[in-house]
Amino acid sequence: MVTIIGGGIAGSALAGALARRGEEDVRLYEQQADVTAGGAFLVVDGRGHAALTALGVDEDRLHDASYPLTGLRSVSSAGDRIEATPDQLRERGHRFWQRRRLMAILAEHVADSGVDTHYGAPVTDITVGGTDGCLLHHGTTTTAVTDDLIIAADGIDSVVRARLEPARTPVYAGEVMLYGMTTAPVELPTDPSTLHFYREVDSQLCTFGHIWRPDEPAAWFMRFTRPAADPTDLGVRPIGEWAETVLAGTPHNQNLARILVENTGQVYLANARNVPLTGAAEPELPVLLVGDADHAITPAAGVGARDALEDVRAVYQAHISGESPAAAMARRRAQLIDSRHTAVAQGVTSGTGGRDGGRTE
């Protein structure tokens, strides 16, 4: 049996892929009772979609529930302008997703594969290496797990990582992230199906972005360079608490920001954080960290969901071929470290960001 802790995008994709083979039982624990609720939006590139289809998710379903980006435009208040051409975007395969739609497809992928699901069943701690194998703690109860493979896909605040590597904690990345979606479709004075970024380079130090297309709600976000928000202020908040701050942070886009603010009921607030790989313990069976649980990166990098999907694809392929999933994750870490060093050297930030909120992946 394989146990997966965390039924988000990566955990659900892996659970369904393993179970549909019919060669072993797969058990999935997820703290949310309904994985299709909540979350805002994300943009996933061709690599992320290739991982999904390699894990058995139907490509036609994926395309029917999302749409391709036809433009990506970044403009600063100083007049700097960067654009990706339609050909570049087609080559990269970027598609816009409402997260609930992607999770609905993955929930069906899990259900149709025969996974033993435990929704609304958070794992609050784990004991590794006892005489009875691993113990999964659910508040006051425990489950003994003797599986050869336990996957921790439980996100940036992973309880499994906290137990295995307590010193490797999330680090604030210097930006507060805010995400919104309009409550109904709106027409905006910008190109549709295009991911727009507006960077305020004066004292505001904000980035404002949005994407829209006819007959669908518009998605928008802001990144504020500022001290971390208090934990009590995070999560879903009424737009009224942040409307003034949003408008003050977009002096060069007041009309556009006002349209979006006036048509949005609530926003999601998060502190951008990284989970550093520096000093990480070597991956070791039976428990493996994947995705944000192992190597979360600021949403501004725009690769979180894709990285997690490529993690579980590598683990899946190693597991079914009789190779070591731990070695596969060690190789994945080396790839990630190399690609992130390259991105830093090139000054690349492509994402909109947020934990299961607005992201470019």
Do 305 and 319 sit in the same domain of this protein?
A: yes
User: For residue 359, what pLDDT is reported?
Assistant: 41
Residue 137 pairs in a beta bridge with 125, 142
Mean pLDDT for the chain overall: 92
The pLDDT tens digits of the residues spanning 239-256 come to 999 999 999 999 999 999
Please report whether residue 360 resides in a domain: no
User: For residue 303, what pLDDT is reported?
Assistant: 87
Choose among 267, 266, 246, 269: nearest CA to 256. Answer: 246
Do 269 and 326 sit in the same domain of this protein?
A: no
The answer to whether residue 348 scores a pLDDT higher than 70 is no
The pLDDT tens digits of the residues spanning 6-42 come to 999 999 999 999 999 999 999 999 999 999 987 789 9
User: For residue 302, what pLDDT is reported?
Assistant: 77
**Average of per-residue pLDDT across 125-138:** 88
Please report whether residue 353 resides in a domain: no
Kindly report the backbone phi and psi dihedral angles of residue 266, in degrees, each rounded to the nearest multiple of 5, phi listed first: -150, 160
User: For residue 300, what pLDDT is reported?
Assistant: 83
For the chain, give the longest Cα–Cα distance: 64
Number of domains composing the chain = 2
| Residue that finishes a domain, picked among 230, 248, 273 | 273
Confidence of residue 354 (pLDDT cuts 50, 70, 90): very low
> CA quadruple 182, 185, 190, 195: dihedral positive or negative?
positive
Do 200 and 56 sit in the same domain of this protein?
A: no
Please report whether residue 294 resides in a domain: yes
The pLDDT tens digits of the residues spanning 169-224 come to 999 999 999 999 999 999 999 999 999 999 998 877 899 999 999 999 999 999 99
The pLDDT tens digits of the residues spanning 47-93 come to 999 999 999 999 999 999 999 999 999 999 998 999 988 888 889 99
**pTM score, two decimals?**
0.93
Do 265 and 286 sit in the same domain of this protein?
A: no
Domain that holds residue 236: 173-273
| Residue that finishes a domain, picked among 236, 257, 273 | 273
The answer to whether residue 350 scores a pLDDT higher than 60 is no
User: For residue 353, what pLDDT is reported?
Assistant: 38
The answer to whether residue 349 scores a pLDDT higher than 70 is no
- DSSP code string of 187-255: --SS-TTEEEEEEE-STT-EEEEEE--TTSEEEEEEEEESSPPPGGG-EEEEGGGTHHHHHHT-TT-HH
